[in-house]
Amino acid sequence: MTQSHLAPEVMARARDIVALYPHPRSALIPLCHLAQEQDGWLRPEAMAEIAELVGITPAEVLGTASFYDMLHTEEVGTYVVTLCTNIACMLRGAYELLHHAEESLGIRTGSTTADGVFTLEDAECLADCGRAPCLQVNHRFFGDVSPEGFDKIVDDLRAGRLADEVPHHGTLVRTERDGGLRVEAETITAERRATAAAMAERAATAAAASEAKANG
Amino acid sequence: MTVTDAPKIVTSRLGYDDSHTLERYLATGGYEGLRKALSMTPEDVAKEVDAVSLLGRGGAGFPAGRKWSMLRKAPTSYLVVNGDESEPATFKDHLLIERDPHQLVEGVVIACYALQVTTAFIYIRGEFALGLERVTAAVNDAYGHGAIGRDIFGSGFSIDIVVHPGAGAYICGEETALLESLEGKRGFPRIKPPYFPAAIGLYGEPTVVNNVETLSNLPWVLSNGSAAFTALGEGRSTGTRLFALAGHVKNPGVYEVEMVKTTFRDLIYAPVLGGGIPGGRELKAFIPGGASAPWFGPDQVELPLGQDEVGAAGSMLGSGSVVVMDDSTCVVRAAWRITRFFWRESCGQCTPCREGSGWLEKILRRIEDGEGRESDLELLMDISDNLAPGVSWPPQQTTICVLGSSIPSSIASAIRMFRDEFLLHIKDGSCPQGPAPHG
Amino acid sequence: MADPVITSHHAIAPHTEEGATVEMTIDGRAVVAGAGEFLIAAAERAGVFIPRFCYHPRLRSVGMCRMCLVEVSGPRGATLQPACYVAVAEGMEVVTTSDKVKKAQDGVLEMLLVNHPLDCPVCDKGGECPLQDQVLAYGPGESRFLEEKRHWAKPTPISELVLLDRERCIQCGRCVRFANEVAGEAQIDFLGRGDMVEVNVFEGQAFSSYFSGNTVQICPVGALTASPYRFTARPWDLDQVESTCTLCAFGCRAAVQSSANRITRLLGMDSDPVNQSWLCDKGRFASEAVNAENRLTEPLIRRNDILEPASWGEALELVARRLGELRTAKGASAIAVMGGARLSNEDAYAWAKLAKAVIGTDSVDAQMGDGLPAEVVVALPRATIDEACKARCLVVLAGDLREELPVLFLRVRSAAVDDAVPVVELAPQSGSVTGFATASVAYGPGEAAELVRALATGGAVPATVEPAQWSAAAEALHRAGTDGEGIVVILGRPSVAEDGALVADAAAAMAAAWPAARFLLALRRGNVMGAIDMGLAPGLLPGRVSLDDGRSFFEEQWGSVPAGRGRDAAGILEGLADGTMAAVVMVGADPLSDFPDGTLAGDGIAGADFVVAVDGFLSRSAARADVVLPASIVYERSGTTTNIEGRVSRLSQKLVAPGQCWPDWMIASELAARLGGDLGVESMTEIWDEIEKVATSHTGITRAVLESLSARDGIIAPLAASPVTLSRRLSPEPFDPMATPGIESVEAQGAPPRSGGAEPTSGEGAGHTAVSGHGHQAPRPRSLRWPQPVAAPPLPAPDSYSVRLVSGRRLYDDGVLVGATDALAALVAPATVRAHPHDLEKLGVGAGDPVRVRSARGDIVLDAAIDESLPRGVASIDFNLSADGAVGAAALLIDSREAVVDVRLETP
Ligand SMILES: Cc1cc2nc3c(=O)[nH]c(=O)nc-3n(C[C@H](O)[C@H](O)[C@H](O)COP(=O)(O)O)c2cc1C
Ligand code: SF4
Ligand code: FES
C-alpha cells in the first residue's frame, strides 16, 4: 500500500540476502550496507524497513547500526575520505597529512564540505600500513599518500577521473554472489546427522566384530 | 643475518598479477589440497592438521588442531572465518584476502570437511571492499568449479559458504563479538563462561572461529603433508608465518618467513625484508605483535620469531605485526595514539574499559601537550592496574574480553622503558621531540 | 515475527539436577549453595552482599558493570571473577573482602564517576541511589579525574511517562534488557559504542510500553525518571507501606509511598508468586488519581435536580427512608445493589450482608455484565498463576491480557518465551498473546464453544480457522494428556459484544472434554473475585456458597437471607427500566461507563425511582444519582483483597481520605442501623474474623495466618488449595541495598492489625472444619463445585449485510482513574472501527476515513482502521474508548439481550 523506501530492485536483493542466513537478523549489516548503497547513508526510513525485513524493532536496527563506523546514521558526502592516523601511519606522517587535508578541503575532520562532495574522517588502522600513510575514499585504498598526492586524488575525484575505481559512497561490494544458498543448512544438518549415525553404526559393528573375534 | 630459503606456504602466488583468479589458482596447484583431503576421512584430515601444530594466526596462537578437537558434537555446527583484521599495523590477512582468495576458500572447505560443520561464514572487515569483491568472486567461481556446494568434486560432501561484510568496529575481531555481529547485533563480546564458541557459538551452536591466515595454510599442508610443514620452524612454532612490518623501516610490508629460524633483527634489517631503518637512525623500540603487545627495545632484536620464545621474553607475536620506532619517536605520543585506539574501539560494555580507556587517553594527551603532573605516572599505572591487575604479562583481566586488559601494555611499556622521557615532558611542559599535530 | 535466535551474551545458568547442592566457602565460611546458582545469589542468601549494578535477579546476567568482581579460587590461583554470572562449584573458595577485591571495587566506582555528573542535589534518585550508596560503602574517598566529562542534552523524554538523562546513565543495560526480555518490546536499545554508548529510542518512536515505569524502578541511577514523580519529593521524606494494587484483579504487591498525605510513587514489590517485582504503568501511575482535585469529599443530595452538599446524617437518613419506603411498597426484591469490585473483601462482606440480610434482596452484582456467570466463576476447578505458567498447555480464552491484566501478560509471556510453555490462544481477534502463541485459533463472535467441541472431538476445521493453527492447537492440547491433566485455561471475556454465557459454555465444553483441566479466571475488575467470594452476586452467599446450600447456615448466622435468586446486572437494569425494580445502590459502580449495553444502562438509571451512588469520584452514573455518598478509595483503606487466583492479600492504608469520605463498610453498617438492622461489626478486623468464621472458602485464614511472615504474598483461599509455600521475601530485615530488584520489603502495615505472630498451620486439613476455634456449631455449607448449569443462548444466523462486532478493552480507557492522571490521560487513544481491508474496500473506505457503524441499538461514526488479522465479516471497536465526544462508542451499539451484536458498516 504505502510505497517502500527501498527501491524494488534493492528490496529484491535484500530478500536474497536475508535468505542466505539461517536467521534473518544476520542479514542486518549487509542490509544496512545495501541501504547505504541506495541513499549514500542510512536513512531512518531505511532502518524501519530493514527492521521489518529481519523481524526486529527499528530501535534494535539503530542500536546495531550506530555501533559501526561504516554505517552513517547522518548524511555524508558523495565521497567519504578516511585517513588512517593509527600508530603505523602516524609514524609516517598521518597527522601532518590530516592537517593538510583539513586545510585543502577547508573543513574539520568529521564534517562535510558545503557542496556535499567530501566528508573527512580520521580512522583507526585500515590495514594498509605497508603503504603508510594511507587513506580510503569510499573504502577504496590509496597508499603512500603525500600532501600533493592527496590534492591530486581530490582533483581526480572532482573531475570524475576515478569514477571507475571509486563508486559513490555506500557502494561496498560490486560483485554479487550469484544465487542464494546452494545448500540449505537444514539439508546439511540432516546429512551430517545421517553421517554421524552411519559412523556410529559402523563403529558399533566394528566393535561387535572385534568382540566376536575376541570371543571366538 | 640469516634469511632462510623456506618455501612460501601462503604467499606463493603473490608474484602473479592475476593471483586472485581461478585460472591462476588452478594453474598453480589450486584445489589439489582439497582433493587430497576429500580422499581421506574427516578424522584423518583433522589429525593431519593437529600433527603440524598450526598455531592460530589471529592473535592468541592457539593450535588449530586442538581447537578443532574441542568442538562440541552436535548436528548443526559452524565454521566462522575471522577476516576482521583490525589490530593496528596488522595487514597480512588483507593481503591474503585480496590476492589469494581461492587459497582461503580452499582452506575453508578443507576445514569444513575435517570438522563436518553445517555452513561456513567468512566474516571480512567491511573496509576491505576490494577483498569482499574478490572473495565473493572466488566463492562464485569455486561453485562453478565444483569446489563448494553440493557433492564437492563428487565426494558426497556438501558445504555452503557465505561471505559476510563487517561494518567498521575493531572489537568484532574478538571471536565472540564477531559472532554477535554475524547474528546482526552490536559487537559486544560474550561472557565466558558460558559462551565459549566451541560449545555455544553462532546461533547457540558449536562453532570454530579461525583466522584467515590460519586457514590459508591448509591447502599447502594437505598437498605437501604435515612432515614438510613441521620440518620448518622449531618446537611448537612450526612452518612459516606472515609478519606485517610497519613504521620506521625502509621496506614496510608483509613478509612470510620461517618461524624461530628468523629473528626480529632479520625481519627489520635484512635487505630482502625490512631493509633497516631509514635516514641512518637508531632503533628506539618496537612492538612485536600488535597494539596489545608489550614493547621491546634494541636489546631484544635478536629474539627469534617463535611464539614461546617471545612469550618468555614478556610479550607476544600476537597478530604478527611488528612496528618499528626509531629514535625520533616520541614514546608518549606513541603510547597516546595506541591508547586512543583502544578508547575509540572499546565496545562500551565493561566499566573499566569503557571509562578507563578514555581517561588514560586524556592523561597521556595532557602529558604530551605539556600539562602533565608528576603524579600522573602513578595514576596511569594505577588505572592500568584496574584494567589488568598487577599490570604483568600475560595480563590478568577485570573485563569481559581481553581488549580491556590489553590497554595497559603500551602505557606500561613506555613508562617502564622511557620513564625519563615522560618526566621530561612534565618538567619542560612540552614534548622534547617538538610539538606534533594530533587530531 | 520474532527472530528465534536465543543466543546473546546473556549468562545462562548451567543445567543441573533440581535440588542438587554444592559445598563451598565464602570468606572462609562454609556455604551450601544450589548447584548451578550464580555466585552473587548464593552469597546473598548466605548473608554476603556483593555490590552490583547490572545484575538483577529477574533479568539475565550480562556482566557489564564489573562491580561484582570477587576473588575465586581456580587452577591458576585466585582470580577476580564476576559473581553475577559465574556459577558456584563444588569446593569453590570465594573471597569478597580482600584488598584485591576492594581495589577492583574502588576502581569500578571511580571509573563510573568519570562520566557521571555530580548533580545529585537535583536528581530524583539522590538519597536512594545505589551509585551514591555504593560509592559511600565501597568507593574511594575522592576522584582523581580532572578532565572534562562527556556532555549530552538532558533530559530528553522517551515517552509520555519516562525521561532520559543520558549523562547519568551507567550503561548497566537493565532497562534495555527489561524492555526486550520481560516486556518483549525492544523499543529502547543501546546506541553507539564505547564511552559514547547511550540508551535511546528510535527517532520518532516513543518507548510506548505499558511497562515503562519498571525501567525507572530498576535504573540504578537517575538516568530514567518518571515524569509524574519528577521533582515531587525527596526520598527521605517518603513514608511507605506494603500493599496491593487493585487497579486490576491481578493483585500486584506494591510499596506505596507518600509524602504529606499525597501518593508520590508506587514501586513493585518482588512477590514471587504474583508480580515478581513488576507493575504496569496504569497501576503505577494512576495511583495518582487519589490525589485528584475532583474527588468527592462530602455527601450530596439532589435538590431541584441539582446535587447539593449535605451532612452524612441527612444523606444516610434520606437513603434509609427511601429504601425503606420502596421496600415496603414494592418488596425487597425491587431494590438492587450494583458493584463491589472496587471494595476490599471486608467492605464487600459488609455490603453483601446489608443487601442480603438487612434489606433482603438478592439482586446484587459486582460484575457489570462484562464478566462471567458467578456460579461458573466460583465452581470451576481453579489454577494458580504459577500453575498456569507451568502448564503443559496453557489455553487463553480471554480478553487481551496485556490490556486487561498487564502483569499476568508478563508472566504468561515469560512462561511461553523463557520456559517454552505451549500457549493456545482462542480469540475473536489477534492480540498481545498472538505473537508468542504456539497456536492462535480465531473464532467468530459467539462461536467459542462450538470451536472447543470441534477441537476436543477432532471435528472438522472450521472455515474461519487456518488449518495449520488448528492442528498446532490440537497437538498442543493432545500432548498435555488425554484427560487434560496439565491443561490450564485462562478464562475471561474476549469480547463484551458476545454474551458471557457463551464463553461459560466454552469453558463447560472444555471442562467436559478435559476433566482434569483447571482454570484461572481472567476477570479484570479490581477485587471482583473477592466481591464474589463475599456474596456480591445473585444466588451466592459468602464463601462461594449457593443461596440454597447456605440458607440454613446463614439464617442462623445472619438472621435471614433472601427468599429467592435475584437478578444480575443486566436483569437489574432491565428491571429498573421496565419498572419491576425501583431502587439501585451503586457501590463504586458506573454502569453508564462500564456496562456493555449503554442504552440499557441509561434506561435503567433513568427508570429507577431512587438511585444512590457510593463512590470516590462523581462518575457519569453518580452524577445521575439522587444521593451520592463519598467513599475512601485505594490506598486510603486497609483490609484485604483477592486476586484472580483467589489469593487474599493485605491492603495497607497509606493516606487519610479527603474531606468526609468514609470507608465503604462503615457506610453499610450505618445504613443497616438506619434500616433497623445491625451488621454486628465494629471494625475491619471484626469483619475479617466473621468472614473467617462463616465463609467456607476462607476457613482457617485467620488474621494471625494472614499476618504471618510466610503470608507476605497473601494466601490462596481455600487454604487447602495451595499449601503455604515460603516466598523468597522471607527476610524480616529489609535487605535491599540496591532498592531496585523490586523492593523486597517495607515495613508492613495496615489491617488486619497485628494480633500475634502465629505461623499458619499446614494448608492440609483446613477443609471444612474450623481451625480458628470460634466454636460455631452448625456445619458450614459446602462451596459450589463444578459442574454448574450454563444456559447459553442460541446464536442467530449471520445476515449477509452485517458484520459481527467484537469489543475488547484497552488499558488506558475513559475511566475516572486514567482520566484523573494527566500523564495517562494523554495516552488514551480515540475509538476506531477496525475491519479486514476487504470489508473496508467493499465500502470504498480506507484507513482513517469515517465509517458509520449501525446496530439495532444505535449508530455512531468512527474512523476506520485496517486490521488484516481480523477475519472477514468481523468488525472490532474497543470498549471504553470514545470518539469525538461520543463516550463509550461500542456501548451505543451493544444490545445485552442479544447473544452477539451484528452491525452494518456504511459510509456516513
Ligand atoms: C580485541 C580482540 C581483537 C581481535 N581481532 C582479531 C582479528 O582482527 N582477526 C583475528 O583473526 N583474530 C582476532 N582476535 C583473536 C580472535 O578472538 C580469535 O582468537 C581468532 O580469530 C582465532 O583464530 P585463530 O585460532 O586461527 O588464530 C582478536 C581478539 C581480541 C581480543
Ligand atoms: S573489555 Fe572493553 S571491548 Fe572487551 S567487552 Fe569489555 S568493554 Fe568491550
Ligand atoms: S558485572 Fe556483575 S553485577 Fe554487573
Q: What DSSP string describes C135-176?
A: HHHHS-SS----SPPP-----EESSSSEEE-GGG-----HHH
Instruction: Identify which of C402, C686, C608 has the alpha carbon closest to the alpha carbon of residue C524.
Output: C402
In whole angstroms, what is the distance from residue C606 CA to residue C577 CA? 7
Q: What is the pLDDT of residue C771?
A: 40
Q: Read off φ and ψ for residue B124, nearest 5 degrees.
A: -115, 135
Instruction: Read off the DSSP letter of residue C252.
Output: -
C722: confidence class by pLDDT, cuts 50, 70, 90: low
Q: Rounded to a whole number, what is the distance in Å from the CA of C177 to chain B's nearest CA?
A: 14
Contact A44 C204 (CB under 8 A): yes
The cell for C876 is 472490532
**Do the domain assignments include residue C572?**
yes
Beta carbons of A29 and B164 less than 8 Å apart: yes
Which grid coordinates are listed for C189? 536499545
**Alpha-carbon gap, residue C771 to C720, rounded angstroms:** 12
Give the CATH number of the domain where residue C108 resides.
Answer: 3.10.20.740
Q: Name the maximum alpha-carbon separation found in chain B.
A: 73
- For C198, name the nearest residue in chain B, comparing CA atoms only: B348
Q: What is the pLDDT of residues C724-763, one digit of tens each?
A: 655 555 554 444 545 455 566 665 544 333 333 334 444 3
Q: In angstroms, rounded to a whole number, what is the distance separating the alpha carbons of residues C518 and C489?
A: 6
Sheet of strand C156-157: strand arrangement: C156-157, C162-164, C224-226
Domain A8-65, second-level architecture:
Orthogonal Bundle (1.10)
**Which of the listed residues C210, C227, C252 is the one where a domain comes to its end?**
C210
Query: Which of A20, A87, A127 is the closest to B291 by Cβ?
Result: A87
Q: Rounded to 5 degrees, what are φ and ψ at C417? A: -80, -45
> Cβ contact (<8 Å) for C5 and A23?
yes
Buried b (16+ CB within 10 A) or exposed e, C636-658: bbbbbbbbbbbbbbbbbbbbebb
**Residue C472 — φ and ψ, nearest 5°?**
-65, -40
Mutate one of B77, B171, B205, B398 to test the C interface: name it (highest C CB count within 10 A). B398
Under 8 Å between Cβ of B10 and B240: yes
**C-alpha count within 13 angstroms, C-beta hemisphere, residue C860:** 23
Q: In this structure, are C355 and C447 located in the same domain?
A: no
Residue B415, C-beta contacts closer than 8 angstroms, at least 6 positions apart: B377, B380, B381, B422
User: What CATH number does the domain containing C808 carry?
Assistant: 2.40.40.20
Distance CA B429, CA B427 (A): 6
Q: Are B192 and B199 in contact (CB under 8 A)?
A: no
The reply to whether residue C201 touches residue A59, judged by beta carbons under 8 angstroms, is yes
Look up cell 492440609; give the residue: C764
* CB within 8 Å: C144 and B169: no
Is B203's CB within 8 Å of A22's CB?
Answer: yes
Distance CA B287, CA B296 (A): 6
Contact C7 B183 (CB under 8 A): yes
B192, B341, B350: residue to mutate for ligand 2 pocket, most atoms within 8 A of CB: B350
Count H helices, E strands: chain A?
Answer: 8, 4
Cα torsion C570, C573, C578, C583: sign: positive
Longest dimension (CA), chain C: 93
User: The cell 476490599 sits on which residue?
Assistant: C344
- Report the number of distinct structural domains present in chain C: 5
Position in ligand 3 atom list of the atom nearest CA C82: 2
Does residue C66 belong to any structural domain of this protein? yes
Residues C336, C270 share a domain:
no
Among residues 11-70 of chain A, which lie with CB inside 8 Å of chain B? 20-30, 32-33, 54, 56, 63-65, 67-70
- Work out the pLDDT band at A179, boundaries 50, 70, 90: confident
pLDDT of residue C551: 97
Nearest CA in chain C to B196: C9
| Amino acid residing at C692 | E
Any domain includes C716: no
- Taking only residues 46 to 85 of chain C, the set having a beta carbon closer than 8 angstroms to any beta carbon of chain B reads 61-67, 69, 79-80, 82, 85
Q: Which three cell numbers stand for residue B372?
A: 602533565
Q: Tell me how far apart the alpha carbons of residues C476 and C469 are, in angstroms, rounded to a whole number.
A: 10
Please choose, from the candidates B150, B135, B290, the residue with its C-alpha nearest in 3D space to the C-alpha of residue B216.
Answer: B135
**Does the pLDDT at position A1 exceed 60?**
no
Query: What rounded mean pLDDT belongs to chain B?
Result: 96
C686, exposed or middle or buried, with CB in 10 Å at 0-12, 13-18, 19+?
middle
Cell for C523? 476477570
What is the mean pLDDT of the segment spanning B354-373?
A: 96
In angstroms, the CA A97 to CA A120 distance is 12
Domain ranges of chain A: 8-65, 79-159
Nine-digit cell string for A67: 555501533
pLDDT (tens digit per residue) in C320-334 = 999 999 999 999 999
Instruction: With cut-offs at 50, 70 and 90, classify the pLDDT of residue B106.
Output: very high
Cis peptide before B194 (omega within 30 of 0): yes
Q: Give the pLDDT score at C755.
A: 33
pLDDT for position C734: 47
**Same structural domain for residues C331 and C256?**
no
The single residue listed with the C-alpha cell 494480633 is: C755
Q: Point out the ligand 2 atom lying closest to the alpha carbon of residue B404.
A: 1
Q: With CA atoms as reference, report the closest residue to C329 among C580, C570, C557.
A: C580
Domain for residue C217, yes or no?
no
Report the residue of C3, C5, C8, C9 to disrupt the B interface, i.e. the one with the largest count of B CBs within 10 Å. C9
* Domain membership flag for residue C423: yes
Q: Please, which pLDDT band fits residue B357 given cuts at 50, 70 and 90?
A: very high
Q: How confident is the model at residue C121 (pLDDT cuts 50, 70, 90)?
A: confident
User: E strand or H helix at B162, and its extent?
Assistant: strand B160-165
pLDDT of res. C758: 38
pLDDT value of position C523:
97
User: What pLDDT is stored for residue C888 in this prediction?
Assistant: 78
In a domain, residue C796? The reply is no
Q: Chains near C, with 3+ CB pairs < 8 A?
A: A, B
Longest dimension (CA), chain A: 92
Nearest Cβ partner for B438 among A95, A132, A136: A95
> Which run of H or E residues covers position B165?
strand B160-165
CB count in 10 Å sphere of residue C522: 26
Give the H or E element holding residue C111. Answer: helix C99-115
C148 touching A, CB under 8 A?
Answer: no
ipTM of the complex: 0.94
Cell numbers describing residue B264? 626480529
Residue C600 inside a domain? The answer is yes
Q: Kindly report, residue by residue over B49-85, the tens digit of the pLDDT.
A: 999 999 999 999 999 999 999 999 998 999 999 999 9
CA–centroid distance, residue B174 to ligand 1 (Å): 5
Distance CA B325, CA B286 (A): 6
C55 Cβ closer than 6 Å to some ligand 3 atom? yes
Q: Percentage of chain C surpassing pLDDT 70?
A: 92
Distance in Å, CA B82 to ligand 1 centroid? 7
> Which of A24, A58, A68 lies at the smallest CB-CB distance from C202?
A58
Specify whether C423 is located in the same domain as C333. Answer: no
CA distance C816 to C846: 33
Edge to edge, what strands does the sheet with A79-84 contain?
Answer: A118-123, A79-84, A135-137, A140-142
Neighbours of chain A (3+ CB pairs under 8 A): B, C
Higher pLDDT: C120 or B322? It is: B322
C-alpha B60 – ligand 1 centre gap (Å): 7
Average pLDDT, chain C: 90
Predicted pLDDT at C770: 38
The residue of chain A nearest to residue C4, with distances taken between CA atoms, is A23
- Domains detected in chain B: 22-229 (3.40.50.11540), 236-324 (3.10.20.600), 331-428 (1.20.1440.230)
Q: Which residue has the higher pLDDT, B435 or C655?
A: C655
In SS3 terms, C654-693 reads as CCCCCCCCECHHHHHHHHHHHCCCCCCCCCHHHHHHHHHH
Atom 29 of ligand 1, residue of closest alpha carbon: B174
B118, three cell numbers = 553445517
Cα–Cα nearest to C805, from C854, C856, C876 = C876
**Residue B401 CB contacts under 8 Å (≥ 6 apart), including other chains:** B171, B174, B176, B177, B189, B347
Q: Which three cell numbers stand for residue C157?
A: 523524554
Angle of helix A147-159 versus helix A94-105 axis, rounded to 10: 40
Q: Kindly state if the Cβ of C356 falls inside 6 Å of ligand 3.
A: no
> Are the beta carbons of A175 and B94 separated by less than 8 Å?
no
- Give pLDDT tens digits for C22-35: 999 999 999 999 99
Spatial neighbors of C436 by CB under 8 A, at least 6 apart, are C2, C184, C413, C416, C417, C423
Q: What is the mean pLDDT of chain A?
A: 93
Question: For the CA atoms of chain A, what is the radius of gyration?
Answer: 25
CB contact under 8 A, B351 and C108: yes
A79-159 classified as CATH 3.90.650.10: no
Residue C481 and residue C413 share a domain: yes
Tell me the H-state helices in chain A: 8-19, 28-39, 44-54, 58-65, 87-90, 94-105, 147-159, 185-215
Least confident of C67-76, C438-447, C880-889: C880-889
The Cα–Cα gap between B214 and B107 comes to 9
Choosing from C698, C716, C745, the residue where a domain stops is C698
Of the candidates C652, C671, C698, which is a domain's last residue?
Answer: C698
Cβ–Cβ of B396/C103 closer than 8 Å? no
Nearest ligand by distance to the CA of C57: 3
Q: Which whole number is the average pLDDT over B371-378?
A: 96
d(C-alpha B90, C-alpha B96), whole Å: 12
Would you call the peptide bond into C787 cis, given omega within 30 degrees of 0 as the criterion?
Answer: yes
Q: Is residue C691 part of a domain?
A: yes
Point out the residue among A25, A58, A59 whose CB comes nearest to the CB of C3. Answer: A25
Q: What is the pLDDT of residue C756?
A: 34
| Interface contact C187, partner A, CB < 8 A | yes
Question: Using N-to-C axis directions, what is the helix angle for B331-345 and B408-428, rounded to 10°?
Answer: 130
DSSP assignments along B378-430, one per residue: HHHHHHHHHHSTT--SSPP-SSSSHHHHHTHHHHHHHHHHHHHHHHHHHHHTS
Q: By residue range, what is the domain housing residue C157? A: 21-210
